Structure 1
């Protein structure tokens, strides 16, 4: 995932709703209860963790039972400490007190609550990148500390792997190519990090790596669910088998029941959290609604690579803040230009005007004679059955065709829909290429070159490439 290419826009739930969800997550609610429980007799060790004698009381307060009760209580305490819900009062005495951020959970804004939750999330993500240390007594060094150098484990690489998996999960969640809310199979997530692009049938070595990654992710998603990042259906334990030296390795994946191998989906809170982390890491991670208070030029450029559904949602929020006639004028003004992004701006403008409705008609009629917007205006008016729409000249028809194909190239690349459009144009106009290379449009040569690349008929493709050469020669490049 490149940090220079914008991700699809996320649809975030309202902050008030997300804050309520954060407060109800098992881990943050436990951390908050421990922070309120803190008193003058509470003691911590040199690392800030609760002393062992107080873990049973902490576990009892949280209603935790069983062999893992102390571990869960210790984790909640660590979250409370690192998220600012408790703080060290006296390091030498090992005393603590309620932290300043504890009050934010009840008296702060929804954004304040979410900031505390994000701090808790970082604690859990750091823990999830650490291997299970149970039974590692043999790795203790002379000082009684674990000798990590003796382990086959790279903390930085493990954290990067988990970040990559979560990045892919985020991308699948916000993409319009995947049904909203659809859980992702754990094998698919593991394979997305292991299997090289373009590999046909994975080798046994690659399959083994995917299997190992699945087991690591199974443990990690079990840890991430209590903080509210994901909803997770774990790997079915019945699938585990002892196979020689490999204990706990899953059987081969059965495509007929892939859900048994683990299914994960981001929660709305998880989408918010991962987007915040992506932004912090320098990624372009837009959210629907961010452009609502911007100018029409920013709106049209900002939606350049939005999917259709997200573009409509963004436009609706933008239009809700403006009077329709004024909005239509702003959109049309912003759609002008001869730069490379102008064709797609005009396409987005036309789509936005369809949401304005009939109140946009006066502004649209005003640009009928505009060399860049006249074609758009005729299409918009004709689609609504408006009277008195002047017929376009042949020159305008070809200019609009080039502009439309250029916009589709920017929006979709070499898609099947664009290929169908290219085939249709060449079929409907026998002399298309003979005339198209003369079109005075900045993108003429690029469009004709793309048509030559996309058309399946070699003869037609050759015509397109010749026309592209003529267009470049005509423009001096």
Structure 2
């Protein structure tokens, strides 16, 4: 039926105020802000905007970190983030420093003040710049011995890195995309931590492969170790909660991926566990949108017309569709129920392939609108496409003065209802029950229904022939489908 399906399910995001608070609380972002406020006229920076090595111990001490190599590394990382996110502005060096190197100066950036005076959207925009910077660090090459890459003339042999930046970025984005999908699985109930071996395998092992080969297992192992490094870098910016690979495993097993494949549920946690946070959902979705990926969120349609709403929720999971419709109705206000219902009904009309599913969601939306929608519903009782839907709604709301539908309207509604369910890809058992229930309500159902003037009549009857458990009824349905196609001239 409808040809186009959304690739990603809709995500339910926390409010921007909640997300902004999470962003401000991200450990790396907190350290970057503290260093931005600590920096002053005497702060010395190098030609690349980095904090000079002599000042790293003081910066680490300000952050409450030990003044050793690790503390200096954390301080340097936080400083880079402060510069990358505009919390600090660095001027080009104009002279030599105490150690003979060129040094510049630093001042507070415009974004630093926005952290206390700006809107949640402005804060999240700054944080997203930070996420992009950390993502770039995570996909940077691993340099075991940088000196080996420097030639006699001082130039760097980039070819020796064996590093493809586009490939590295694509791989990490693919992993984060898979984690995003897993988090949204089962209407958002799939937010349990994901084992790192499973996440690595999702990018390496072909879908149609049975037992992984030794070569594939080796690739998974290498991907795991790379992801372990990357998630350690990404966790402080707040997008994931990460339990790293147990370093003791490196001594216990030569191939962590091979060992993980046979580990029990209790042991698998030692191979790394990762979970996307609510802030991570927001951040990964923002990156996907920027890359042109359709990544819907509940609430996207709240200010759109009824036609966009019904088309938009056509293939949403039930809970997400309900939430989206409720937001749409809430935006119309208490006094706007009747106009909103009339708009929904108008948008539900049509003979295109998506029309039956629009009418199904229109019916669900009217149920959420409540009894106040009755005037709009009664106004379409005579409509050949909406009259059956209107009668069902009125009956469900206890109306006693509803005119009986014609037989043609009953059959048309039956075809339309099954067409909508086929398009919605519902549960097979439920669809089979619907098919058998509708056909059992009317004597000689298949003798008459093939005459229904509905674009999906033949297609629905063919489906009924496949789904009906009674062999005679299934055969009658197939005969009726043939008659419907002959009547339509195709």
TM-score by length of 1: 0.90
Cross-structure match for 2:350? 337
User: Quick check: 1:240–1:249 contact (8 Å CA) kept in 2?
Assistant: no
Cα distance, 1:212 vs structure 2: 2.4
Cross-structure match for 2:64? 63
Structure-to-structure mapping, 1:373-392, within 5 angstroms: 373-392=386-405
Over 3 Å counting, the alpha-carbon distance change for 1:307 and 1:222 in structure 2 is same
User: Quick check: 2:228–2:244 contact (8 Å CA) kept in 1?
Assistant: yes
Aligned length: 474
User: Quick check: 1:300–1:334 contact (8 Å CA) kept in 2?
Assistant: yes
Cα distance, 1:229 vs structure 2: 0.6
Q: Among residues 240, 250, 267, which one is paired with 2:277 in the alignment?
A: 267
Cross-structure match for 1:72? 74
Is the deviation greater in 312-321 or in 129-138?
A: 129-138
User: Quick check: 2:224–2:257 contact (8 Å CA) kept in 1?
Assistant: no
User: Quick check: 2:27–2:236 contact (8 Å CA) kept in 1?
Assistant: yes
Over 3 Å counting, the alpha-carbon distance change for 1:191 and 1:104 in structure 2 is same
Cross-structure match for 1:237? 247
Corresponding residue SS for 2:69: coil
Q: Among residues 306, 316, 327, which one is paired with 2:340 in the alignment?
A: 327
1:103 equivalent to 2:105? Answer no
Cα separation, 1, equivalents of 2:330 and 2:49: 51
User: Quick check: 1:85–1:99 contact (8 Å CA) kept in 2?
Assistant: yes
CA deviations on 1:205-256 (whole Å, 9 max, x unpaired) are 3333223222222221111110011112223334333656x68975434242
User: Quick check: 1:38–1:96 contact (8 Å CA) kept in 2?
Assistant: yes
Cross-structure match for 1:15? 16
Cross-structure match for 2:101? none
Cα separation, 1, equivalents of 2:284 and 2:412: 43
Cα separation, 1, equivalents of 2:377 and 2:259: 62
User: Quick check: 2:184–2:191 contact (8 Å CA) kept in 1?
Assistant: no
Gaps of 5+ in 2: 96-103
Cα separation, 2, equivalents of 1:145 and 1:456: 75
User: Quick check: 2:85–2:126 contact (8 Å CA) kept in 1?
Assistant: yes
Corresponding residue SS for 1:226: helix
Over 3 Å counting, the alpha-carbon distance change for 1:250 and 1:154 in structure 2 is farther
TM-score by length of 2: 0.88
What root-mean-square deviation, in Å, do the aligned CA atoms of Structure 1 and Structure 2 show?
2.8
Gaps of 5+ in 1: none
Cα distance, 1:415 vs structure 2: 4.9
Q: Among residues 121, 127, 134, which one is paired with 2:131 in the alignment?
A: 121
User: Quick check: 1:101–1:116 contact (8 Å CA) kept in 2?
Assistant: yes
Corresponding residue SS for 1:371: coil
Cα distance, 1:475 vs structure 2: 2.4
Is the deviation greater in 259-268 or in 273-282?
A: 259-268
Cα distance, 1:467 vs structure 2: 4.0
Cα distance, 1:357 vs structure 2: 1.6
